[in-house]
Structure 1
Amino acid sequence: MDGAEILRLVDVIHRDKEIEKEIIFTGIEQALASAAKKKYGSGEELEISIDRDTGEIRATYQGESIDTKEFGRLAALTAKQIIVQKIREAERDVVYREYIHRIGELVTGTLRRLEKRVGFVVSFDKVEGLLRKQDQIPGEPLRVNDTVKAVIIDVKKIGQRTRILLSRNDPDIIRRLFELEVPEIADKTVEIKSVARKPGQRTKIAVSSSDPKVDCLGACVGLRGSRIKGIVEELNGEKIDIVRWNQSPEVFIKNALKPAETLYIELLYDVQKAYVKVDRSQLSLAIGRKGQNVRLVSQLTGWDIDIYSEKEEGEPEEDLDEEKLELEGVKERLLSEEDEDAEQDQEKRELEKLKRNFVNNDFEPSDANSSQ
């Protein structure tokens, strides 16, 4: 390979792979040095360099010039393999440097193929990412050649490649989609304060406006729901609740629980816990199916929320208790408390029985001895 061929090779790799020329020159020099060691052995006496202007290869061994043609066929093959390896490593580094700073960014790609037990390989921006099964929206019917949006959640060097992990169930995709669909969010007039999500089922997003003339809820929904409709479709029909943020935790929690109406909210600031009283008719709505609504409200507001309601006169106690059990963790807590109460009641009954026995002289010394 003469100097002109080396310069052409470096230029082609530089343009196609977007790798700096100096990195390519260094890789070729290292490859040629490794090839030369097959013939001359290792040592500091062997030096190889490439003229950056002419592409001419200069090789010396023990201070004397040597002909690179003398490296032999095996050495030439080794050099070729090393050059390919160095190019791949350089290409990996280029991709890594570009995408490591793009974590959390929204990308649009095409599902190229499905790798069993792993997930979909997604093609975007001339690179490939991986959409693992655990990062997909549960129940979403994805197919090869589908176009999808996802956020970058991780970038790692794996061998000679860079692995880019994508996600469609990460809360960041909600933020990015709203930034894409709502100009007021993109220009910071409307701010997303927090996001709580159960992928594939429901999302709650808290927003506020820095401009009194701009309604944050209306801006996110759009005329006749035009803006939020596109986001819901992208997320395979996932329900989205938009909540008006407020710096007052009490007002914020009240807004987040709507359409359920609250009667009273007690805040324990030292433990970040809120006791929320609702009307009997609002209990199921506030808690949600299997406690989903109150869990999302807790995530959204950052408060541990306990919802309760007083029993109406004449209403069976067990009916009220059964609805309360929908709140996650309440059932276990109530059962534990019932066990403790039962034990205490049993102890009281036994104590009363002993007292009665003493009073009625039914307790005999022989009974005590037989029990020992």
Structure 2
Amino acid sequence: MNPSEVLRIVDAIHRDKKIDKEIVFLAIESALVSASRKYHSEDAEVVINIDRKDGTISGHIDGVPMDPEETVGRIGAQTAKQVIIQKIREAERDALHEEYDDLIGQMVNGIVHRSEGGATIVTLDNVEAILPRSEQIPGESFHANDRVRAVIFEVRKQGSRVKVVLSRTNKKFVERLFEQEIPEITESVIEIRNISREPGYRSKVAVDSSDQRVDCVGACVGVRGNRIKNIVDELAGERIDIVRWSENPQELITNALQPAEVEEVILCQMMGRAIVLVREDQLSLAIGRRGQNVRLASKLCGWDIEIMLREELEEQIERAVSGFSTIEGITEEVAEQLVGEGFLSYDDLSVIETDAMMEMGEYTEEQVEQIRDLAEQQAEKAERAMEAERRRIREEKLKDGSAQ
């Protein structure tokens, strides 16, 4: 391996594999060191350098200079070649890993190559990626040569290869689709503040505008809904709710629960809970099918949202004050404070923070612990009573059925 041949190899690998020349030089040096140790001794201190300009090889073993020809020649060309190939493959893998690791969360376009046990293998520019069944939108299917868009979800080294995992269920996928369809987002006029998603069913996207003249919700929907329609089509019909962002939690929660109409939002800071009061005709709309609307709104706003009728809240408050007052050490005044902070059940009280409870009634840590234990006992007792009631109702239904 003469100097000109070294430079030719480095240049060829750099062009063909798109690997930085310095990485190739280091790989060859490392390969020659490994091969040299096999010839001399594993414990030998071997240093080999390649001149980056003219390709000259020099080195020493245990401080003794090596002859350039001996550096490669005595090692054995075949051995050196094998190690170099291995090192180059490792360098190629590392370069590929670095390239795709920088793209995590970004959108890529690929061609479906084949399916393997529910997973879809997608060909990207220079690697085969996998789109697992768990990262596909429920109900969608792909066939060979289909074009597919997804975000890069995970990148990891696997032996001599790089495993690239794609996702169409991650909320980043929705964000990237919005960026493609809505120019105002890429121009930083509109900003996506948060996304909550249940893939294939429904997403809520909170948006904000830095320009008061631009209606962020209208811009995302588009003329006659054309912009949002393109996104919904890509998401296999998934429903998209565009929510106007607000720094005011009460306003944000009201927006997030649309199309339901909200009467009042009560924030319980200590519990991180928001009690939302609605009219009876809005109750099912606010909760949504199988609780989907309130669940997504909770994730979007970062508050534990509980939907109630005003009468229900009044009943719960009365029941909680009465119940808490029966616990040893809790006065009616403290009970009212607890309810005011959103503690409406024994379960809530059983997990109260020690510092918070100590501030309310000048309790010691031991007293707070005792109150929590008593609350937990009452919660278990209430659960047993509810289970007994459910069992009684079931038995009555069975009796009624057999009587008929």
Aligned CA distance change for structure 1 residues 33 and 143 (closer, same or farther; 3 Å):
same
Q: Do the aligned partners of 2:37 and 2:44 also contact (CA within 8 Å) in 1?
A: no
Residue 340 (1) aligns with residue 385 (2):
yes
Return the TM-score normalized by structure 1: 0.76
Q: Which residue of 1 aligns with 2:81?
A: 80
After TM superposition, list the pairs within 5 Å mapping 1:196-345 onto structure 2: 196-309=196-309, 337=382, 339-340=384-385
Q: Which residue of 1 aligns with 2:366?
A: none
> What is the Cα deviation at residue 238 of structure 1?
0.8
In structure 1, C-alpha distance between the alignment counterparts of 2:103 and 2:300, rounded to whole Å: 25
Deviations 1:303-326 (A, max 9, x none): 1111123689xxxxxxxxxxxxxx
SS, match of residue 262 in structure 1:
coil
Q: Do the aligned partners of 1:59 and 1:67 also contact (CA within 8 Å) in 2?
A: no
> What is the Cα deviation at residue 197 of structure 1?
0.4
Return the TM-score normalized by structure 2: 0.70
> What is the Cα deviation at residue 68 of structure 1?
6.4
SS, match of residue 34 in structure 1:
helix
Q: Which residue of 2 aligns with 1:169?
A: 169
Q: Do the aligned partners of 2:32 and 2:72 also contact (CA within 8 Å) in 1?
A: no
In structure 2, C-alpha distance between the alignment counterparts of 1:160 and 1:222, rounded to whole Å: 47
> What is the Cα deviation at residue 104 of structure 1?
1.8
SS, match of residue 122 in structure 1:
strand
Deviations 1:37-88 (A, max 9, x none): 444444647665444444354577754635468548xx43332221111111
Q: How many residues align?
A: 323
After TM superposition, list the pairs within 5 Å mapping 1:136-147 onto structure 2: 136-147=136-147
Q: Do the aligned partners of 1:204 and 1:242 also contact (CA within 8 Å) in 2?
A: yes
Q: Do the aligned partners of 1:35 and 1:76 also contact (CA within 8 Å) in 2?
A: no
Q: Which residue of 2 aligns with 1:186?
A: 186
Aligned CA distance change for structure 1 residues 267 and 9 (closer, same or farther; 3 Å):
same
> What is the Cα deviation at residue 108 of structure 1?
1.7
In structure 1, C-alpha distance between the alignment counterparts of 2:193 and 2:208, rounded to whole Å: 7
After TM superposition, list the pairs within 5 Å mapping 1:10-25 onto structure 2: 10-25=10-25
Q: Which residue of 1 aligns with 2:3?
A: 3
In structure 1, C-alpha distance between the alignment counterparts of 2:148 and 2:141, rounded to whole Å: 12
Question: Which one is further off, 171-180 or 215-224?
Answer: 171-180
Q: Do the aligned partners of 2:286 and 2:293 also contact (CA within 8 Å) in 1?
A: yes
> What is the Cα deviation at residue 294 of structure 1?
0.9
Q: Do the aligned partners of 2:31 and 2:83 also contact (CA within 8 Å) in 1?
A: yes
SS, match of residue 263 in structure 2:
strand
> What is the Cα deviation at residue 205 of structure 1?
0.8
Q: Which residue of 2 aligns with 1:356?
A: none
Question: What 5-or-longer segments of structure 1 have no aligned partner?
Answer: 313-329, 345-372
Aligned CA distance change for structure 1 residues 138 and 78 (closer, same or farther; 3 Å):
farther
In structure 2, C-alpha distance between the alignment counterparts of 1:169 and 1:241, rounded to whole Å: 16
In structure 1, C-alpha distance between the alignment counterparts of 2:150 and 2:103, rounded to whole Å: 12
Aligned CA distance change for structure 1 residues 22 and 185 (closer, same or farther; 3 Å):
closer
Question: Which one is further off, 51-60 or 120-129?
Answer: 51-60
In structure 2, C-alpha distance between the alignment counterparts of 1:81 and 1:309, rounded to whole Å: 75
In structure 2, C-alpha distance between the alignment counterparts of 1:261 and 1:60, rounded to whole Å: 81
Question: Which one is further off, 210-219 or 266-275?
Answer: 266-275
SS, match of residue 292 in structure 2:
helix
> What is the Cα deviation at residue 134 of structure 1?
1.8
After TM superposition, list the pairs within 5 Å mapping 1:100-119 onto structure 2: 100-116=101-117, 119=119
Aligned CA distance change for structure 1 residues 288 and 78 (closer, same or farther; 3 Å):
same
SS, match of residue 102 in structure 2:
helix
Which residue identity lines up with residue 174 of structure 2 in the other structure? I
In structure 2, C-alpha distance between the alignment counterparts of 1:337 and 1:106, rounded to whole Å: 51
RMSD (Å) for aligned C-alpha atoms = 3.2
SS, match of residue 179 in structure 1:
helix
Aligned CA distance change for structure 1 residues 197 and 335 (closer, same or farther; 3 Å):
farther
Deviations 1:10-32 (A, max 9, x none): 11101111222232223223323
Which residue identity lines up with residue 245 of structure 1 in the other structure? W
Q: Which residue of 2 aligns with 1:91?
A: 92
Q: Which residue of 1 aligns with 2:398?
A: none
SS, match of residue 276 in structure 2:
strand
In structure 2, C-alpha distance between the alignment counterparts of 1:98 and 1:69, rounded to whole Å: 33
In structure 2, C-alpha distance between the alignment counterparts of 1:342 and 1:67, rounded to whole Å: 85
In structure 1, C-alpha distance between the alignment counterparts of 2:173 and 2:134, rounded to whole Å: 15
In structure 1, C-alpha distance between the alignment counterparts of 2:268 and 2:181, rounded to whole Å: 38
Aligned CA distance change for structure 1 residues 276 and 82 (closer, same or farther; 3 Å):
same
Aligned CA distance change for structure 1 residues 69 and 26 (closer, same or farther; 3 Å):
closer
Larger radius of gyration: 1
Which residue identity lines up with residue 76 of structure 1 in the other structure? A
After TM superposition, list the pairs within 5 Å mapping 1:148-163 onto structure 2: 148-163=148-163
Which residue identity lines up with residue 280 of structure 1 in the other structure? E
Q: Higher relative contact order by CA 8 Å / sep ≥ 6: 1 or 2? A: 1
Q: Which residue of 2 aligns with 1:195?
A: 195
Aligned CA distance change for structure 1 residues 336 and 301 (closer, same or farther; 3 Å):
farther
Q: Which residue of 2 aligns with 1:320?
A: none
Q: Do the aligned partners of 1:38 and 1:71 also contact (CA within 8 Å) in 2?
A: no
SS, match of residue 141 in structure 2:
coil
Q: Do the aligned partners of 1:34 and 1:78 also contact (CA within 8 Å) in 2?
A: no
